[in-house]
Chains A and B, each alone.
Chain A
């Protein structure tokens, strides 16, 4: 699905990612954990092509294509999706209108016919149920006046409407109460399939109670320093990160 090799990224001349290697295969769910400021969001943003993140080294291969050469919209059309940590509000732009434009842009790129308003509405009604949102929600401006939980659920709604191959969820669990967390986790679980992959970025082991990751990685000082399974997440929850630092120092 995606192969990241020795990826180095700078923001405003400061190196944040210092050689990240990651290989995600179809159907897998990878979790990336780490302290604040270790570069988790940088990794997410650079993959979707946010301009201020400068790639200084390395390659990213997404389903056989060089991802780093593509525009943000082409990446989305190729099947990459990021659930933003802080989704922006766009006053005046109707959520439904936006979703329809996005779905049709992606369909068009796949050579499929554009979906009309009637079919779109019945399609989106089904998806709304999956994230437990009522219909009035799609007639509001994009993320404008949404609560934190609503914003995150709107991200998941977009994900299941756009049907990406690889979804990156950047702290989608942060700031959610337990009910909202369950809804989001359920939305993702229902969406999992042998063809779809996920990279979940999180601070907490909490959401992993509702999901089954294949791999757990620790991002520290711009590198993925340790990989494991669910057990690793549990260790981190219990012991924090300092033992890994120590381990690193001993090896180093």
Chain B
């Protein structure tokens, strides 16, 4: 597949003078790398179950000034109490709707580059990170300085609307310095009729830093979504990731965590609710690079209609990484005979003193449990809903922020209700 459309758009991009020219060398370098690797095809082992020809062959356009809203968009439907929000609409920052909690520093792309000593992260040249580097058009660089606990969660609300087949490449950098903590929410919403979002998030957690990262993907069922999440963790740091994916036509989360220091710990949770012909893929790599590091992957999918899903969890334990613990659990609930799930939990262990487990189950609703509920007077539909909610609750209950947990419980129940009635 040639990149011809993307080449045209890339030239356009370089000519837009609102993008800083000093980042152009990085963009060009990334794009030429991408031209070499090309987009993944199903011949690539790690892309075997996900067909992205709608992206590689798509004719997506960069977002123009005209794609920004004429008036401030209405964000009331996405109101979340007790959080500070940054709003990005079709790739355009909505300053008048945005605010951040005290103690949070927002850096420009250039300042951030300086902070990183001119090193631009492209995450080992993964195609979609390269695409993001080439086209990065919005996002945030968030820095939490040493010994700072940010109580108020910070949210980026990404709204995608319109029918112009635009492509947006948000790039989010989050640095949590030593002994600091933050709750970061990214929420993807909107009614776009055709849209491609390729998001890259780079997270760096210094010693004893903590980040709660909540990702809610509920944009329209016509969008293509790539989320590339790269996490680097130093000693004693904790990364808690929680996501709900229920929007999009095609969606893949590429999550890669590097546990680089003793007692670094990551807890990755993902809940998928798919319907119609949606395809939702969770591709997770956790690298235990240091001894005494701990990881957990917990992914559950609920599949309706002829939707399809993938779980690919890979945990790699390096040779010297003794006394680590790693767990992978994938559970899938098929609510239709036409739904299809591919589950592939993998452990690659090169150390000999480790505690690892992995398991995967895919099945229909437990008929015995269903009967049990019916025998107590609950009708079949309500019993089903109770069980599906119960299945999801195991993931929903892992949200560490009580208010947000409540909001998501409610939202999830409403979504499920609509699907089951």
Contacts and interface: CB of A to CB of B under 8 A. Distances in A.
A77 interface: yes
A88 B394 CA distance: 17
Interface in A41-74: 48-51, 71-73
A158 B376 contact: yes
Given A90-B387, A105-B382, A76 B377 contact: yes
B386 A105 contact: no
A82 B375 contact: yes
B359 to A, nearest CB: 14
A75 B390 CA distance: 24
Contacts of B107: none
Interface in B388-404: 389-394
Given A71-B374, A93-B386, A141-B390, A88 B379 contact: no
Contact of B377 (A93, A97, A109): A109
B377 A102 contact: yes
Contacts of A106: 377
B374 A90 contact: no
Contact of B378 (A49, A94, A105): A105
Nearest to A77: B377
B380 interface: yes
Contact of A92 (B373, B377, B378, B393): B393
Interface residues of A, number: 31
A102 B387 contact: no
B366 interface: yes
Contact of A105 (B369, B379, B392, B394): B379
A97 B389 CA distance: 11
A105 B377 contact: yes
A95 B219 CA distance: 34
Nearest to B376: A102
A216 interface: no
A240 interface: no
Interface centre among A50, A51, A84, A102 (most CB of B within 10 A): A102
A98 interface: yes
Given A90-B387, A93-B387, A84 B372 contact: yes
Interface centre among A77, A101, A106 (most CB of B within 10 A): A101
Interface string A160-175: 0010000000000000
A72 B374 CA distance: 6
A98 B373 contact: yes
A87 interface: yes
Contact of B371 (A72, A77, A102, A109): A72
A158 B376 CA distance: 8
B17 interface: no
B393 A73 contact: no
Given A84-B372, A88-B369, A102 B391 contact: no
Contacts of B366: 88, 90
Contacts of A75: 375
Contacts of B348: none
B379 to A, nearest CB: 5
A81 to B, nearest CB: 8
A145 interface: no
Contacts of A84: 372, 375
Given A73-B379, A98-B386, A105-B379, A92 B392 contact: yes
Interface of A: 48-51, 71-73, 75-77, 81-82, 84, 87-94, 97-98, 101-102, 105-106, 109, 141, 158, 162
User: Can you list the 8 inter-chain pairs with the closest CB atoms, starting with the nearest?
Assistant: A92-B390, A93-B390, A76-B377, A102-B376, A105-B377, A72-B374, A92-B393, A106-B377
Given A72-B371, A101-B382, 9 more contacts: A49-B375, A50-B371, A73-B378, A81-B375, A90-B366, A92-B390, A93-B387, A94-B393, A105-B378
